[in-house]
Amino acid sequence: MRSASKVAIRPVTGLPPILHTQDHQILVVGSGLAGLLTALRLAPRPVTLLTKTPFLAGGSSDLAQGGIAAAVALDDCPADHAADTLAVGAGLCDEAMVRLLAEEGASAARLLIAEGLPFDLDGQGVPLLGQEAAHRRPRILHAGGDATGHTLVQALVARVRGTPSIRVLERTCAVDLVTAGGKMAGLLACQADGSWVFHRCARVVLATGGIGSLYLRTTNPPEATADGLAMAARAGARLGDLEFVQFHPTALVVTPAGDGRPMPLLTEALRGEGAQLRDGAGRRFMVDEHPLADLAPRDVVALAVWRRVAAGETVTLDLRPALARAGADRFPTVLAFCREIGLDPTTTPVPVAPAAHYHMGGVVTDADGRTSLPGLWACGELACTGVHGANRLASNSLLEAIVFAGRIARDLGALAAADPVTVPPPPRPAVPGADAGPEMAALALELRRTLYEQVGLARHHQGLAAARDGLAGWSGRVAALAAAGAATGAPPTAAEVVRWVELRNRVLAARLITAAALARHESRGAHYRTDFPQPANPGQPRRFLTAADL
């Protein structure tokens, strides 16, 4: 593991020091649901919220469709929600954390409703609840029909903007965590104008979202490049469950693969309302695959779709039963996606394929979101709280963000003021220059293809080992490009920095995920190995590692 006794940024000779230092009490990195809510729950404590996107509303949260799972119905209870979560997690959930999620989730969701977040309610003010895969009853709160994420994020952004204790820094890309004496000392970030700032701070909450952009086909936005995972890994944090990457079975097939844009999602709530998957011959294949048919756990449906797509079939989703039952108003986002590309789902089933969607693994935290690094918390998709195990139950991600944002804010709020951090600014890192652009773009595309083909939904030793060996030299290649860029002496632009940050992080995260996938010699949840097609008996335990294990 990296030595904790000195500043954890590798000095680069010949480069100028960081000129600007800003001191903060609490830094929250990322403005998805996890970051926005953590900052709001901390008010009136002063918080700086920084995000790399041009606007606060970014990340996967803005794209979320189905909603938030919570046992708020009169005929529901947290024990049932926990049981469904544990069943889908395939034996690898942390049971105590799951019970905490289900119990506190119900009250956290009720609190959001009481605070006036614009959930879809009936005439009496009772939440309308959707049904999604492997939930024993309708349990999914939604907003704006299938525009849940966008509707909630917009409302939270307005509240953040109206909260004087929250200072917002947009277009600010966190590059590396800085530690001193084994504790958090802040982070290095690049601003929109290309200037570098050392944000000095003893308490940092990372809420940087997931890793979908490591894959050629994904539902995630381009900013989901595993930045938080890689930053925490470089700083020596403990990571867990990294092999478990969830593929969503029903991404709409539109974009040419690899252009960086997310594949539009066709929410599972459609199948909850009766939409049906059909194979190339138009048959309902899920009825032969699982007793819950189209509402089987997500890993089961994704694999069944994948097998057919890999065999050259066009798998379609027939939305007509859902639209007839729930009405078109329930799914405005999905209908807009289809119509944008000239498909009319009211008359014809639409083509779907699995796409990388969610990372169950991440930076290991305790019940208060604390990581193994003193002064560092992790929240949202980045965190590995243990609630998802080998496979996440639908709509439990937004719930996890909500529950743990509240817990992290309470934990931070209960702490006495931190001693001032006096660490001097580190030198700025070396960054590849403009001329490295084509090579970096080619590497990013090759990495996305490698992960999709060899560390994707169906894995085997040969492919994983080839990915491991292929990727092993990539960190060195990226470093060499950076050194060459530094040698030119030209200061990099913000766009060049972000491109380098994301590629460097993708490479490290890809290597970590591949290493974890190679080590699990069984199929379990979202981790399917064609060379070990069954779960081991007894099952293999959860796997934890650090970057030093690579």
Binding site for ligand FAD (CB under 6 A): 29-35, 50-53, 58-61, 63-67, 148-149, 173-174, 207-210, 219-220, 223-224, 227, 265, 357-358, 380-382, 395-398, 401
Whether the CB-CB separation of 183 and 64 falls below 8 Å is answered with: no
Whose structure tokens read 């949260």?
A: 61
Known catalytic residue at 298: yes
Minimum CB–partner distance for residue 359 and ligand FAD (Å): 8
Instruction: Please name which of 300, 297, 314 lies closest in space to residue 392, comparing C-alpha atoms.
Output: 297
Question: Nearest approach, Cβ of 195 to ligand SIN (angstroms)?
Answer: 37
Minimum CB distance to ligand FAD smaller for 41 or for 52: 52
Torsion of CA 288, 289, 290, 292, to 10 degrees: -70
Nearer CB in complex with ligand SIN: 67/78: 67
CB 19 within 8 A of CB 195: yes
Distance, C-alpha 216 to centroid of its chain: 16
Q: Rounded to the nearest 10 degrees, what angle do helices 148-161 and 33-42 cross at?
A: 30
The stretch among 3-11, 76-84, 109-117, 267-275 that binds ligand SIN (CB under 6 A) is 267-275
Return the residue of 31, 61, 316, 397 that touches ligand SIN, per CB under 6 A. 397
Minimum CB separation of residue 419 from ligand FAD in Å reads 26
Q: How far is the CB of 358 from ligand FAD (least distance, A)?
A: 5
Q: Cα(90)–Cα(98) distance, rounded to whole angstroms? A: 13
Which segment (73-81, 185-193, 263-271, 369-377) binds ligand SIN by CB under 6 A? Answer: 263-271
The option from ligand SIN, ligand FAD, none interacting with 29 (CB < 5 to 8 A, set by class) reads ligand FAD
55 torsion bin: left (phi>0), alpha (psi -120 to 50), beta (else):
beta
**Residue 267 engages ligand SIN in binding (rule: CB under 6 A):** yes
Helices (H), 162-285: 227-234, 268-272
Point out which residues pair with 355 in neighbouring strands: 248
**Position 395 contacts ligand SIN (CB under 6 A):** yes
Amino acid found at 381: E
210 vs 425, which CB is nearer to ligand FAD? 210
Short-list 535, 544, 508, 451, CA closest to 258: 451
Exposed/middle/buried for residue 193 (C-beta within 10 Å: 0-12, 13-18, 19+) = exposed
Q: Residue 137 carries which side chain, given as an amino acid letter?
A: R
131 binds, among ligand FAD, ligand SIN, none (CB under 5 to 8 A by kind): none
CB 18 to ligand SIN: min, Å: 38
Q: Distance between CA 301 and CA 297 in Å, rounded? A: 7
Selecting among 217, 278, 298, 542, the annotated active-site residue is 298
For position 65 contacting ligand SIN by CB under 6 A, the verdict is yes
CA separation for the pair 405, 38 (Å, rounded) = 5
Return the number of the residue (351 or 470) whose C-beta is nearest ligand FAD. Answer: 351
Q: How far is the CB of 506 from ligand SIN (least distance, A)?
A: 22
Residues 6+ apart with CB under 8 A from 440: 432, 478, 481, 499, 500, 503
Q: Select from ligand FAD, ligand SIN, none the partner in contact with residue 223, using the beta carbon and a kind-dependent cut-off of 5 to 8 Å.
A: ligand FAD
Question: Residue 401 binds which entry of ligand FAD, ligand SIN, none, with Cβ cut-offs from 5 to 8 Å by kind?
Answer: ligand FAD
SS3 state at 169:
strand
Cα angle 196-34-135, degrees, rounded to a multiple of 5: 150
220 binds, among ligand FAD, ligand SIN, none (CB under 5 to 8 A by kind): ligand FAD
- Contact segment (CB under 6 A) with ligand SIN among 78-86, 110-118, 394-402, 498-506 equals 394-402
Residue 428 near residue 9 (C-beta atoms within 8 A) = no
Whole-number Å distance between alpha carbons of 295 and 395: 14
Residue among 358 and 532 whose Cβ is closer to ligand FAD: 358
Rounded least distance, CB 6 to ligand SIN, Å:
41
Q: Tell whether residue 514 is a contact of ligand SIN (CB under 6 A).
A: no
C-beta of residue 384 within 8 angstroms of C-beta of residue 258: no
Judged by CB, which is closer to ligand FAD: 68, or 515? 68
Q: Which is nearer to ligand FAD, 391 or 523 (CB)?
A: 391
**Cα–Cα distance, 526 to 215 (Å, whole number):** 15
Q: Which does 50 bind (CB under 5 to 8 A by kind): ligand FAD, ligand SIN, none?
A: ligand FAD
Q: Which residues pair with 173 in a beta bridge?
A: 190
Separation between Cα atoms, residue 54 and residue 61, nearest integer Å: 15
Strands (DSSP E) found in 292-346: 316-318
Separation CA 335–CA 342 (nearest Å): 11
Which of these segments, 326-334, 371-379, 392-400, 415-423, binds ligand SIN (CB under 6 A)?
392-400
Chain centre distance of CA 104: 21
Chosen from ligand SIN, ligand FAD, none, partner binding at 59 (C-beta under 5 to 8 Å by type): ligand FAD
Per-residue mark of binding to ligand SIN, 217-256 (x: CB under 6 A): ----------------------------------------
Structure tokens at 183: 């504790």
Length of the chain: 550
Q: Which is nearer to ligand FAD, 30 or 345 (CB)?
A: 30
Q: Which of ligand SIN, ligand FAD, none does 381 bind, CB closer than 5 to 8 A by kind?
A: ligand FAD
User: Which residues within the stretch 347-376 sit at the binding site for ligand SIN (CB under 6 A)?
Assistant: 358
Q: Which of 188, 235, 269, 305 binds ligand SIN (CB under 6 A)?
A: 269
What residues act catalytically? 298
Contact footprint for ligand SIN (CB under 6 A): 65-66, 265, 267-269, 358, 394-395, 397
